[in-house]
Amino acid sequence: MLTAFAIDIGQIERDVSSTGLSIVRPAETFLPLCEAARGDYLAAFKAARVEPPKKAFRPSDLVAGPWRKFAIGSKNGVGESYAQLLQTMYFDPTGSSHPSLSRLFEVIIAVRNQLMKVAPDFGSDPPRHGYWNASRVHHYPRGGGFMMIHCDTYFPVRLGGLPFYQVMAPLSTKGLDFSEGGGIIVNRQGERLNTDEVAGLGSLVVFDGRVQHGVEDVDPHEIMRFDDEGGRLAAFAN
């Protein structure tokens, strides 16, 4: 599958080793997939109700439909605390109701598993693997959606010092869906990169979660509305 999109795992490994990140520009056929995946997300976004932030769910619950919740404040999920304001929608990574998004998650998971040198199906059976493919879209609303610059510490410790590969697929376009802010990664050389400017829709951004990263305020001059389709979108499956 990765060959079909001309994704070179060896080059990604070299880039991440030397700079902390890799901007991957797959074959031209990847852009239409990302555009269709964005459409799948927006259709689900319009239909899904918002669940309480602390309400738990199981991966198997996602078969019935996506799970949408807000992540606001500094105590969300596992690991270190850092301030953030966004909404997240979790999906069944093989769901037939969002075929293009499922295909994109399949690519993201394949890249991650090859980089981590684990079985191709790793994460598909949580009880057996002790890990699940948290396939989701982060949606930073216009009006100030953000994530504080931070370094991941929880998963790198569990991985025993191995790189914590984060694989992100941008699903929005700066200058069209939002105009200010965006994803930030500080590479090992200290260079501060806006991933929505140097990568964007139709690319993959792979980085070591141990380097500084976050999201600068998205269009803070706008009035925030959580039902707004605009803003910064990015797909993950770690």
Pick the CATH number of 9-225 from 2.60.120.1600, 2.40.160.40, 2.60.120.620, 3.50.50.60: 2.60.120.620
Q: Check pLDDT > 50 for residue 216.
A: yes
Query: What residue segments make up the domains of the chain, in order of their start?
Result: 9-225
The yes-or-no verdict on residue 1 having pLDDT over 90 is no
Give, for 30, the enclosing helix (H) or strand (E): helix 30-47
Rounded CA separation 162/129 (Å): 18
Closest CA to 184 of 144, 218, 141: 218
DSSP code of 43? H
Whether pLDDT at 77 is above 80? no
At 172 the pLDDT is: 99
Q: Are 234 and 207 in contact (CB under 8 A)?
A: no
Torsion, Cα of 226, 231, 237, 238 (10° steps): -90
Q: Which of the four pLDDT bands, split at 50, 70 and 90, describes residue 170? A: very high
Q: What are phi and psi of 159, to 5 degrees?
A: -85, 0
Mean pLDDT, residues 175-188 taken together: 98
Q: What is the pLDDT of residue 155?
A: 60
Amino acid of residue 29: T
Q: Which two tokens stand for residue 10?
A: 């060896």
DSSP 8-state assignment for residue 63: G
Beta bridge partners of 69: 51, 88
* Alpha carbon 109 to chain centroid, angstroms: 11
pLDDT at residue 76 tops 70: no
Residue 157: band (very low, low, confident or very high) from pLDDT cuts 50, 70, 90: very low
CA nearest 158: which of 79, 84, 85?
79
**Residue 121 predicted with pLDDT over 80:** yes
pLDDT band, very low/low/confident/very high, at 162 (cuts 50, 70, 90):
low
**Percent of the chain surpassing pLDDT 90:** 84
Q: How far is CA 193 from CA 2, 95, 147, 212, in A?
A: 26, 34, 15, 11
pLDDT in tens, 6-40: 999 999 999 999 999 999 999 999 999 999 999 99
Rounded Cα gap, residues 106 and 94, in angstroms? 8
